[in-house]
Structure 1
Amino acid sequence: MKCPNCDGKILGRIGNDQYYCWTCCLELSVEKGKINVHQIEEDGSLSSLNDLFYQSGS
């Protein structure tokens, strides 16, 4: 698996179907074959970045 943001392969596994990209510091999760991309905020919460990577209706 590669990061959809930086195309990097340096991913760490942080849970079942959850990964962390060490290059661009994004959290990735796989659900029903789709990669969900999240930014980790300063308070530890996650903000979805899917709208930046996927078009509506896909």
Structure 2
Amino acid sequence: MWDSDIETADPPLGKCPTCDVTIPAANLVVAYDRDGDWPRMLAECPDCSDAVNPV
């Protein structure tokens, strides 16, 4: 039987550093890796519409 309590949505990317609004995974524009560094992301904030690096 299917369990409706299982979360199927992607977790949010983080918060906008400008306006502190949670950025959903669907707003991801680009993600890339750098040698020896954490993956970087660029996403559109749903509130201020800026392209930001979620924190």
Which TM bucket (shorter chain)?
0.3 to 0.5
Determine which structure has more spread, i.e. the larger CA radius of gyration.
Answer: 2
Q: TM-score, normalised by structure 1?
A: 0.43
Q: Which has the higher strand share?
A: 1
